[in-house]
Structure 1
């Protein structure tokens, strides 16, 4: 299960979502697909991919790749954590 880190602040700028890790003073911007994934947390990777296929009408493989890539980036920036 992927979850948001408690120290992350969100700012909605309309067409994008800006995240800031308060403890690290680092900012990260999400596009519309990233916003959908972020707002669906906490969730499992498969659930997030399914959400993308429903919202953006992309195929399962593309959604899974996009979700995996974003989760990796968010985890690397300490914005989310994973627990089995």
Structure 2
């Protein structure tokens, strides 16, 4: 299960979501695919993959690659964490 870090601040600008971790003051912008993933958290990876497949009509391999890449990037920036 992927979960948003509790301390993350988010601002919805309509076509994107901007995240900021107060501990690092680093800002991170999410595009439309990132928005779909972020707004569904907390969620297991499979559910996020299915959401991308449905929204963008892409194959499972592409959706899985995109979800994993974003989640790893968000994790590296301490914006999400994974709980088994």
Provide the alpha-carbon RMSD of the alignment: 0.7
TM-score (norm 1): 0.96
Map of 2:61 onto structure 1: 61
Q: Aligned pair count?
A: 84
Q: Hey, what does 1:8 align to over in structure 2? A: 8
TM-score relative to the length of structure 2: 0.96
1:1-84 to 2 correspondence within 5 Å?
1-84=1-84
Q: Partners in 2 of 1:56 and 1:29 — Cα distance?
A: 19
Deviations 1:30-75 (A, max 9, x none): 0000000000100111110001001111111100000000000000
CA distance in 2, matches of 1:39, 1:24: 22
CA distance in 2 between counterparts of 1:35 and 1:22 reads: 20
Structure 2 stretches of 5 or more lacking a match? none
Partners of 2:39 and 2:13 lie apart in 1 by 14
